[in-house]
Amino acid sequence: MTRLYKYFFRGLITVLPLALTIYLLYIFLAWTEAVALTFLRPFIGGFYVPGMGLALGILGILAIGYLVSKERVQHVLTLVEMPFTNLPVVKSIYSSLKSFADYFSPSSKNTAQQVVILRVPGQQLELVGLVTRRSMEGLPEGFTQGDRVAVYLPMGYMIGGYTVFVPQDWVQPIQMSVEEAMRSSLIAWMARAENNNNNRPAPPAGPEAPAGRPAAPGNTGNTDTNGPA
């Protein structure tokens, strides 16, 4: 019975991530196609091929991306964004989402995207964070000026995080992408058991030989001077 119990949960752990990933992708694709067809229905009428809405939606997003790369369209987009950047509550939501999207944008020229290890002097703990700002310029009065950086420290399972302003020499860059660091933080940096095989503690050393025991043959380092002549 114990073996069946073990096999069941091993199979469940194997199937569950795959099933949930496929299910979430299905929901997202179905929602995307439904939204695209809502806008395309006046033009195509009753004609429909499965996947057509999704394909046309992707082409539409590519076309929008091409257009907003033009300077004239950017001016028009600025006018369209005015209601979203001036209304009190909407402004906070829109600005936060836009800044978050720009931070992870591949074309972003923000050089602050970097994963670092934060070490507080006098403490042995290490914190993994993301550098989000490399200067205090533009911040309101009251912030400590000088060679400081802003570091975002995500919490496990994405329940929040903290942003701290620390001296530059407290942080050390590490070779890890932002996406990998966020993904590791999401699961609280848990590692698979097979990845920890190299970190197993060494077996304890055998008991030391008691003092006064004659040395082994060939070992002339120590001799028993109290033995028979």
For the ranges 87-96, 137-146, 164-173, 180-189, the maximum mean pLDDT occurs at 164-173
Q: Which residue, among 124, 146, 123, 122, has the nearest Cα to 135 in the 3D structure? A: 146
pLDDT of residue 118: 92
Q: Kindly state the average pLDDT of the residues 119-130.
A: 90
Q: Model confidence at 23, in pLDDT bands (50, 70, 90)?
A: very high
Contacts of 162 (CB under 8 A, 6+ apart): 152, 153, 155
Given a cut of 50, is residue 216 above it in pLDDT? no
Poorest-confidence range of 4-8, 15-19, 49-53, 57-61? 49-53
What pTM value is reported for the model?
A: 0.50
Please tell me the distance from the alpha carbon of residue 95 to that of residue 84, in angstroms, as a whole number: 8
The single-letter DSSP state of residue 176 is: -
Residue 101 structure tokens:
């999207």
Contacts (Cβ under 8 Å, ≥6 apart) of 52: 33, 37
The enclosing H or E element of 117 equals strand 114-119
If pLDDT is split at 50, 70 and 90, which confidence band does 103 have? low
Tokens representing 165?
Answer: 């302003």
What three-state secondary structure class fits 154? strand
Given a cut of 70, whether residue 198 has pLDDT beyond it is: no
**End-to-end distance of the chain based on CA atoms, in angstroms?**
68
- Per the model's pLDDT, the better-predicted residue between 137 and 223 turns out to be 137
Q: How far apart are CA 167 and CA 118, in angstroms?
A: 10
- Tell me the residue length of the chain: 229
To which residue do tokens 């993301």 refer?
Answer: 130
The closest alpha carbon to 134, from 148, 120, 146, belongs to 148
Tokens of 30: 């179905």
Pairing of strands 148-154, 161-167: antiparallel
Does 209 have pLDDT greater than 70? Answer: no
- Structure confidence by residue, pLDDT tens digits, 31-59: 888 887 787 777 777 777 777 777 877 88
